[in-house]
Structure 1
Amino acid sequence: MSKFRRRMAALTASAAIALGGMVALAPQASADVYCSYISDSARPYVSPNQNNDAVKQAQCLILFESGFGMNHAVQVDGQYGQETYAGVIWVQHCNGLSEDGIVGPKTWEKLYNPNYACQRFDN
């Protein structure tokens, strides 16, 4: 679970208790559970206008792990369109990678091992 998600869970629990209620927090689902469209070791190049499971994997990781999904509705549909492109560019920019919109080895690495400093509210 990311630091952000842990903080939000703690804040939610604190608020509920402060309001006199009890809250049962379900365990946070990780990207490992939901992002299983391709093997973690299978990292093919993904680029605009593709439609496949590798695109779904990238979209899922962008949505759940990169921080981009906090303020953007990336659809995990396998179609590499404008929102996916924006997410890939954001991940590349935030991690100091070449901003080409192509998910190659370096971008996959950042998607699987996100820079949590990138998770902010104004992305």
Structure 2
Amino acid sequence: MSKTCVPTGVELKDTGFGYTLSLISGKYKMIIIYWLSENKVMRHNELKRSIGTISFKTLSIMLKELETEGLIIRKEFPQIPPKVEYSLSERGLSLVPLLNMMCEWGEKNRLPALEDIQR
């Protein structure tokens, strides 16, 4: 008998599945991880431009959370004006195959758009 990912009677937060969700949940965390995986190193404004729909404050909060969770590395350069670069840590890089599988699943299983159905 295989062990279930979310056993009955156990709180989601106390499972590996729940832990993973807590790290990547939210509207932008997976997108930030994706962009850093594609570009290796990015600055705050580069991430903001790439994502497009994120505010400066929200991006700052997400980056701080991802850094606290050990998924990204923040490198600050002592210069004027200040320069900060973000990259994925080894732990963050280990999430990339999961994101790729999610992308592939979405492409294969996406329901047709309403306009396509009506044609």
TM-score by length of 2: 0.31
User: Would you tell me which structure has more strand in proportion to its own residues?
Assistant: 2
* Higher radius of gyration, 1 or 2: 2
TM-score by length of 1: 0.31
User: Would you tell me which structure has more helix in proportion to its own residues?
Assistant: 2
- Structure number with greater CO (CA < 8 Å, separation at least 6) is 1
